[in-house]
């Protein structure tokens, strides 16, 4: 059986009906990894043995008729920036080459408690800083749709794992677009939840006020399943929300008749690939045919989102990454002098982009510049939030592009960080505003590459986003296409 053509939801049905054993399911994906990962380099670590053991246990429980969790027996992959107890977690950095966490991230713990099976850790840009998963320490991850192209980043390994048929479901994290952009490049559904919806405990921090853990999957239905398990308050994360988690699986079934969808015309045209723009227009027709009405909105401060993001994120990163000093759990460069040990460790084991952002953030926070950079960026952030508040008063969700282009070539922007930063132009605003946003497959370009559409919603409006996505997917088949 070619399990990679199934969605996670369909696999779960087979598992629950015992038409497929978890052992066979896990075994299938492990074999896929064996065959395809050498080309794709999507995985950073595998947990084959423990995965098969877990699968056996779950099969036994199912056979005995015991209750099993909502993801029972389903293999999942987890981004390598999320801590997994006993499984090496590098966050894509050589600094953490030997780091084996002694605890699970809350989101991982919840997956395991739902009886999901962790099959491996996926590649990423170092500490999430990048949009291409071109990793200076562990190599480039390739896009399963075109091996010469990037899968996007920073959750590029999770996206390539699913698109490459090596996992049906994966966790990513999104600081400025790191779930949505790879989802767009790989033809997947990727959801960045509202800030506080999913616990960040165990997510190796890049920019704490911006990032969220979220699902990558083929379909909105799959993403709904995974989010439902991972979301909810966590006593270990003060910024996690107390609000109850919606029943996404049932909410997505409601029609979108009468729903108001905003579209920001300013974001179309200049800088956006024409094929993506026409995919948006086609999506408008599909959604209108389902009874949604479209309203033009404006987000006047959105052009400041990338500059604000590239101040706030590096500022937070400069402090978040200070713990990697060679003293505990990281690699340590040889030196007899403390200051030399620090500087050598950090010079040797951080990559270029990480060092660039640490320097940027350190500079922006330093005395005399703090007001000019950090405070100013924080003010812009509030203006962007106010733009969204206004717009989302008028409409339920906002439709737009996820990325300015489809997947770009490996090496294309490696030496041009500014162009690379613009890959985030449509995604960072949701992080700055803390809003939920989803990317879904909404077209194919002339190179046969997937096109991503983005929907942004109200705080804790994940159900509305998933519902629009699911209803769109009920009318289209972009989410069922698979790379050759």
Partner 1 sequence: MSFEQTTIIGLEVHVQLKTRSKLFCSCTTLFGASPNTHTCPVCMGAPGALPVLNRQAMDLAIKTGLALNCRIETATKWDRKNYFYPDLPKGYQISQLDRPICSNGYLDLIDPEAQFADRRVEIERAHLEEDAGKSSHDETQMGGESKIDLNRAGTPLLEIVTRPNLRSGMEAKAFLTELKLILSNLNVSDCNMQEGSLRVDANVNLHLTKEDQRIATPIAEIKNLNSFRGVQRAIDFESDRQRKQWNNDGLTIDQAAKQTRGWDDESGQTILQRTKEDSADYRYFPDPDLVVIHTTSQQIEAINSEIRPLPSARRASLMSDFSLSAYDAGVLVHQGDPFVDFFETIARHIGDGKLVSNWLQQEVLRYLNEKQTDIDHFPVSEEQFIALLERIKEGKLDTSRGKNVMELMMEERLSMEQSLERLGIESLDSEELAAICQQVIEENPDIIQQIRNGNDKAIGNLIGKAKTINRNVEPGLVRKQILTFIKNG
Binding site for partner 1 (CB under 8 A): 82-83, 89, 91, 96, 99, 101-103, 105, 200-205, 207-209, 235-239, 315-316, 318-319, 321-325, 327-329, 338, 342, 362, 365-367, 370, 374
Cα(335)–Cα(341) distance, rounded to whole angstroms?
A: 5
Q: Please identify, using beta-carbon distances, which residue of 192 and 470 lies nearer to partner 1.
A: 192
- Let me know: does 217 contact 188? Beta carbons within 8 Å: yes
Q: Is the peptide bond before 154 cis (omega within 30 degrees of 0)?
A: yes
220-230 and 462-475 helices, crossing angle to 10°: 160
Q: Between residues 298 and 362, which has the closer beta carbon with respect to partner 1? A: 362
Burial of 137 (0-12, 13-18, 19+ CB in 10 A): middle
Specify whether the CB–CB gap between 456 and 431 falls below 8 A.
Answer: no
Look at the chain and count its residues.
484
Residue of 4, 22, 154, 158 with catalytic role: 154
Residue 85 near residue 202 (C-beta atoms within 8 A): no
Q: Token digits for 190?
A: 């990727």
* Active-site residue, from 93, 173, 178, 318: 178
31: annotated active-site residue: no
Catalytic choice (7, 21, 79, 132): 79
* CB nearer to partner 1: pick between 197 and 467: 197
- Min dist CB 429 to partner 1, Å, is 18
Coil vs helix vs strand at 450:
strand
Closer of 345 and 403 to partner 1 (Cβ): 345
Q: How far apart are CB 303 and partner 1 at their closest, in Å?
A: 24
Report the nearest approach of partner 1 to the CB of residue 334 (Å).
Answer: 14
Number of H helices, E strands in the chain: 16, 13
Tell me whether residue 56 or residue 233 sits nearer to partner 1 (CB atom).
Answer: 233
Nearer residue to partner 1 within complex by CB, 185 or 201:
201
79 is catalytic: yes
**Residue 68, CA atoms < 13 Å, CB-side half-sphere:** 25
In the complex with partner 1, which residue's Cβ is closer, 91 or 395? 91
If one counts every other C-beta atom within 10 angstroms of the C-beta of residue 175, the result is 30
First to last CA, the chain: 16
Nearest approach, Cβ of 196 to partner 1 (angstroms)? 9
Least separation in angstroms between CB 93 and partner 1:
10
Do strands 397-401 and 260-263 pair parallel, antiparallel, or not at all (unpaired)?
parallel
CA of residue 450 relative to chain centroid, distance: 17
Rounded-to-integer distance, Cα 477 and Cα 187, Å: 11
Give me the least distance between CB of 207 and partner 1, in Å please.
8
| CA pseudo-torsion sign 473, 475, 479, 480 | positive
> What backbone torsions phi and psi does residue 109 show, to the nearest 5 degrees?
-55, -40
- Rank residues 171 and 315 by Cβ distance to partner 1 and give the closer one: 315
Handedness of CA 292, 298, 302, 303 (dihedral sign): positive
Report the residue number, 374 or 472, with the smaller CB distance to partner 1: 374
E strand or H helix that includes residue 285: helix 274-289
Contact present, 226 and 249 (Cβ < 8 Å):
no
Residues 372-390 as b or e (16 or more Cβ within 10 Å = b): ebbebbeebbeebbebbee
Smallest separation (angstroms) from partner 1 to the CB of 321: 8
Token duo for residue 64: 């005995």
Q: How far is the CB of 292 from partner 1 (least distance, A)?
A: 36
Instruction: Report the C-alpha gap between 425 and 310 in whole angstroms.
Output: 11
| Smallest gap from residue 371 Cβ to partner 1 (A) | 11
178 is a catalytic site residue = yes
- Annotated catalytic residues are 79, 154, 178
């Amino acid at each position: 059986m070619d399990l990679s053509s199934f969605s996670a939801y369909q696999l779960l049905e087979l598992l629950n009906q015992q038409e497929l054993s978890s052992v066979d399911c896990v075994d299938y994906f492990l074999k896929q990894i064996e065959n395809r990962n050498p080309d794709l380099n999507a995985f950073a670590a595998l947990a084959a043995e423990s995965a098969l053991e877990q699968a056996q246990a779950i099969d036994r429980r199912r056979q005995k008729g015991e209750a099993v969790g909502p993801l029972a027996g389903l293999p999942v992959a987890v981004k390598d920036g999320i801590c997994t107890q006993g499984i090496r977690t590098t966050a894509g950095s050589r600094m953490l080459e030997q780091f084996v966490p002694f605890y699970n991230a809350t989101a991982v713990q919840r997956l395991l408690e739902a009886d999901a099976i962790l099959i491996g850790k996926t590649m990423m840009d170092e500490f999430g800083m990048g949009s291409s998963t071109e990793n200076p320490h562990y190599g480039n991850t390739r896009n399963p749709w075109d091996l010469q192209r990037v899968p996007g980043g920073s959750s590029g390994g999770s996206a390539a794992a699913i698109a490459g048929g090596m996992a049906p479901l994966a966790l990513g994290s999104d600081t400025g677009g790191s779930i949505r952009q790879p989802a767009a490049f790989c033809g997947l559904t990727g959801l960045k939840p509202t800030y506080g919806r999913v616990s960040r405990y165990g997510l190796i921090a890049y920019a704490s006020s911006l990032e969220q853990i979220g699902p990558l999957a083929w379909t909105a239905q799959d993403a709904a399943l995974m989010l439902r398990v991972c979301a909810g308050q966590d006593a270990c994360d003060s910024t996690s929300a107390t609000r109850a988690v919606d029943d996404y699986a049932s909410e997505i079934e409601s029609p979108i008749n009468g729903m108001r969808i905003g579209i920001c015309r300013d974001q179309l045209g200049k800088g956006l690939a024409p094929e993506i723009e026409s995919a948006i227009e086609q999506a408008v027709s599909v959604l209108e045919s389902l009874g949604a009405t479209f309203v033009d909105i404006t987000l006047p401060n959105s052009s400041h989102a990338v500059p604000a993001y590239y101040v706030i994120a590096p500022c937070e990163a400069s402090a978040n990454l200070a713990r990697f000093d060679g003293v505990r759990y990281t690699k340590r460069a040889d030196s007899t002098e403390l200051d030399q040990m620090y500087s050598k460790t950090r010079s040797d084991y951080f990559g270029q982009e990480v060092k660039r952002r640490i320097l940027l953030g350190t500079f922006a926070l330093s005395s005399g510049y703090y007001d000019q950079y950090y405070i100013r960026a924080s003010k812009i952030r509030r203006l962007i939030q106010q733009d969204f508040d206004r717009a989302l008063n008028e409409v339920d969700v906002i439709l737009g592009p996820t990325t300015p282009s489809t997947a770009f070539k490996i090496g294309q922007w490696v030496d041009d960080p500014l162009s690379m930063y613009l890959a985030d132009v449509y995604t960072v605003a949701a992080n700055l505003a803390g809003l939920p946003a989803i990317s879904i497959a909404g077209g194919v370009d002339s190179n046969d590459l997937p096109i991503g559409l983005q929907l942004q919603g109200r705080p804790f409006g994940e159900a509305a986003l998933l519902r629009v996505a699911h209803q769109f997917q009920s009318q289209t088949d972009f989410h069922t296409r698979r790379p050759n």
